[in-house]
Every structure is written in structure tokens, then in C-alpha cells.
Structure 1
């Protein structure tokens, strides 16, 4: 994976976090809080998983095990 792809995925992950909060807020306008949380949770979990993978790749790069080219 090259560095530009890594940065694009990181920006995408933060975009998913933003979309999650946007979904929660907009859903809260028309549905109860529990429904809003249930709608936004999968997007937030996807963002968290992507960020965890990116942190793992960054750690591998820092330690020299697998370089980002």
C-alpha cells in the first residue's frame, strides 16, 4: 500500500465518522433516540474498524516490519 492510499483511507474513515453523526442527528429528528443510534452504529463501527487497521499498518511501518511505499 502506498502512502497516498493510506491517507485517502484515513480521510475516508474520518468521513465515515462524520456521516455517522449526521445520520444520528437526522434520524433523531424523525425517530426515537434508540432508533437513531441503531441506524448510525454500523457506520461508526466500520469507521472504527478501518481506523484500527490503519493504526496497525502505521505501527508496522514505524517498526520496519512492513513499509508503506
Structure 2
């Protein structure tokens, strides 16, 4: 993975997390609180896991274990 791809993936991850907040907010209006939580939770978890992966990858790059070219 090159640095440009890393940055694009980070932007996508933040976009996914933002999307989960939008889904929850709009979902509360349209389908109710509980259903909105059920719809937004998998999206939020996916975005969070992607951010964790990027953090680990950046940490490995900083210590020299797994280089981001």
C-alpha cells in the first residue's frame, strides 16, 4: 500500500463513521430509535475496525515492521 492509498482509505473510514451517524439520525425520524440503532451499528463497527486497522498499520510503519511505501 502506498501513502496515497493509505490516506484515501483513512478518508473512506471517516466517511463510513460519519455515514453511521447520519443513518442513525435520519433513521430515528423515519423508523424509530431502536431500528435506527440496529441499522447504524454495523456501519459504525465497520468504520471503526477500518480505523483500527489503519492505526495498527501506521504504528507498524513508524516502528519499521510493515512499511507503507
Establish whether TM, by shorter chain, passes 0.5. yes
Alignment of 1:1-69 (within 5 A): 1-69=1-69
TM-score between the two structures when normalised by the length of structure 2 = 0.95
Displacement of 1:31:
1.8
CA RMSD of aligned residues (A): 0.7
Q: Which runs of 4+ in 1 moved over 3 A?
A: none
The DSSP-based 3-state class of the residue aligned with 2:11 is helix
Displacement of 1:8:
0.4
TM-score between the two structures when normalised by the length of structure 1 = 0.95
**Aligned residues between the structures:** 69
Query: 1-side partners of 2:49 and 2:39: how far apart?
Result: 17
Unpaired segments ≥5 residues, structure 1: none
Query: 1-side partners of 2:14 and 2:32: how far apart?
Result: 26
